[in-house]
């Protein structure tokens, strides 16, 4: 532990309902993990700093591999408790949790801004998305049904019928990212519990507090002891121990493609839902509404400081409109103020998650400029703060045209035709989101059909939001689909029950 006397200590006052999740000594909080209904301390703890000003938020107790094993065994042993609860009661528990979340909105806003550098508007937006997701639990839960299959469509099953039903997978491991540390883990936990699974969640080490607080909300709402557990620590150790555990029935992970590959390599035979890296190409056609496109492109690239898997990550305008579009984009970007969101409520772009992340983004900008791109605005980095940046005439050889940026940068590469734009987009290793702006139906349809991605948005920025529309990746962007009603499918397994009706002579006769 560092010398706290010389540290800048962040101010974080939380409501008494969250007092169980941390210890406090000399004004410094140490946050715990949660197993079998108890918030526990570990043998080791790691410092947690704010990307806003590098202040010390506190420390986080690190779970051990043995703690992971206890958490999974606890989840497995207690899953029967939630499976025995009627579906309507699970919905009522979730509704109680939603009301508790609403009561403590200010606590969550403070934490999201402090631990992740979000603007107040961004923090409120994340919480409001979660309110809506929880409100739509009935839509999620009603997907848990099966179907009746008469056997008389085949001679060998004419005397039989079958029921195909959905059952929980058992223990769901939910592993979340730093960029939406409340909403994304919650959007895994909610359908898992509604489908009568138990859960072990591992928040990211960069932004663990809002996930911890959400687990406490579920605990206070009355979910059965042992059905929701939380472990902490580095992904390379704790994440691997969780992913490889033989009693985990399904892994739901959102994060980088590299980490997704690592999880796949140790997971063994179990269900995997992986929402990984993205490179959302934005194609702008000659008949597009350029003013609208520029506004949407700026928002799609700069929201949450560009730290979104569905962020617009490269713009491919046709040459006829490229110069005018770029001029309008630069005008829009000037409205996106960079700064400390804790001190200035008018700030629209806060810090990225770490100095390391900022340095990586700067290396992409520098590489593009060295290869001929022009920085029309921005381009500078100071600590964790990356200026909103527009790069024009980015050559195909530039890394930034192919790599995920995860920062507030808009690279623009002019193309001669729609086919050239599609060719570039299809060469990407990623396949999560893309978008296209235009007015000709046939051209829009050509682009939408030609892109190899999980979701194409027409005349708007890609935005998963609360997941009302299903989303997920192709290629190196992952497997499976997430969203209201669709996550349930991922977290259940099909069971076929076949009835032989021949003894009662109830089956259909086959005339030979």
The residues assigned a catalytic role are 275, 309
Helix, strand, or coil (residue 432):
coil
Please state at what angle helix 120-135 crosses helix 183-194, rounded to 10 degrees.
10
Contact of 248 with 220, CB cutoff 8 Å: no
Q: How far apart are CA 316 and CA 305, in angstroms?
A: 21
Helix, strand, or coil (residue 336):
coil
Q: How far apart are CA 128 and CA 276, in angstroms?
A: 24
Q: What angle do CA 307, 403, 289 make, to 5 degrees?
A: 70
Helix segments in 432-500, DSSP class H: 441-450, 486-490
Return phi, psi of residue 333, to 5°. Answer: -65, -30
Q: How far apart are CA 44 and CA 509, in angstroms?
A: 70
Q: How far apart are CA 194 and CA 87, in angstroms?
A: 7
Q: Output the six-digit token pair for 346.
A: 């008018």
Q: Output the six-digit token pair for 41.
A: 């301390």
- Report the C-alpha dihedral over residues 4, 8, 12, 18, rounded to 10 degrees: -20
Q: How far apart are CA 104 and CA 116, in angstroms?
A: 18
Q: Alpha carbon of 157 to those of 206, 295, 469, 504, 507: distances in Å?
A: 56, 59, 37, 15, 9
Q: Which H or E run contains 243?
A: helix 240-243
- Residue 110's CB is within 10 A of a number of other CB atoms, namely 20
Please state at what angle helix 418-427 crosses helix 441-450, rounded to 10 degrees.
20
Among 64, 65, 29, 60, CA closest to 45:
60
Q: Which H or E run contains 80?
A: helix 65-83
- Residue 347's CB is within 10 A of a number of other CB atoms, namely 17
């Amino acid at each position: 532990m560092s010398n706290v006397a010389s540290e800048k200590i962040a101010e974080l006052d939380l409501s008494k309902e969250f007092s169980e999740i941390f210890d406090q000594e000399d004004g410094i909080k140490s946050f715990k993990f949660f197993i079998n209904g108890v918030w526990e301390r570990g043998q080791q703890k790691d410092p947690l700093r704010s990307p806003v000003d590098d202040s010390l938020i506190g420390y986080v107790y690190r779970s051990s591999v043995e703690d992971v094993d206890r958490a999974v065994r606890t989840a497995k042993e207690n899953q029967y408790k939630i499976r025995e609860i009627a579906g309507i009661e699970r919905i009522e528990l979730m509704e109680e949790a939603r009301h508790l979340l609403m009561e403590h909105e200010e606590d969550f806003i403070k934490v999201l801004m402090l631990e992740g550098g979000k603007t107040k508007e961004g923090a409120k937006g994340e919480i409001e998305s979660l309110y809506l997701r929880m409100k739509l639990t009935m839509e999620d839960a009603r997907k848990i049904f099966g179907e009746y299959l008469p056997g008389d469509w085949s001679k060998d099953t004419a005397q039989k019928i079958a029921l195909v039903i959905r059952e929980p997978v058992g223990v769901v491991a939910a592993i979340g990212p730093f960029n939406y540390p409340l909403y994304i883990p919650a959007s895994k936990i909610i359908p898992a519990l509604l489908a009568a699974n138990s859960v072990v969640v591992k928040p990211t080490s960069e932004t663990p507090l809002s996930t911890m607080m959400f687990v406490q909300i579920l605990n206070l709402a009355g979910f059965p002891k042992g059905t929701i557990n939380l472990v902490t620590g580095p992904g390379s150790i704790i994440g691997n121990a969780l992913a490889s555990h033989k009693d985990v029935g399904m892994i739901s992970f959102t994060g980088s493609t590299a980490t997704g590959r690592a999880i796949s390599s140790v997971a063994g035979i179990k269900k995997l839902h992986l929402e990984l890296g993205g490179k959302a190409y934005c194609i702008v056609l000659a008949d597009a509404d350029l003013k609208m496109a520029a506004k949407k492109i700026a928002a799609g690239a700069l929201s949450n400081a560009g730290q979104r898997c569905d962020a617009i990550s490269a713009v491919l305008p046709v040459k006829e409109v490229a110069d005018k579009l770029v001029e309008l984009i630069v005008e829009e970007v000037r409205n996106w103020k960079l700064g400390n969101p804790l001190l200035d409520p008018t700030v629209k772009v806060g810090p990225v998650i770490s100095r390391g992340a900022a340095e990586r983004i700067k290396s992409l900008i520098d590489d593009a400029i060295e290869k001929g791109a022009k920085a029309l605005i921005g381009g500078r980095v100071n600590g964790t703060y990356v200026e909103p940046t527009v790069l024009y005439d980015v050559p195909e050889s530039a890394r930034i045209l192919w790599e995920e940026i995860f920062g507030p940068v808009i690279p623009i590469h002019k193309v001669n035709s729609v086919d050239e734009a599609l060719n570039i987009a299809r060469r990407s290793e990623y396949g999560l989101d893309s978008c296209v702006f235009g007015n000709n139906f046939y051209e829009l349809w050509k682009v939408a059909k030609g892109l190899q991605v999980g979701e194409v948005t027409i005349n708007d920025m890609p935005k998963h939001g609360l997941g009302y529309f299903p989303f997920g990746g192709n290629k190196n962007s992952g497997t499976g689909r997430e969203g209201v009603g669709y996550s349930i499918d991922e977290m259940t397994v099909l069971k076929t029950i076949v009835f032989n009706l021949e003894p009662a002579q109830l089956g259909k006769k086959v005339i030979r």
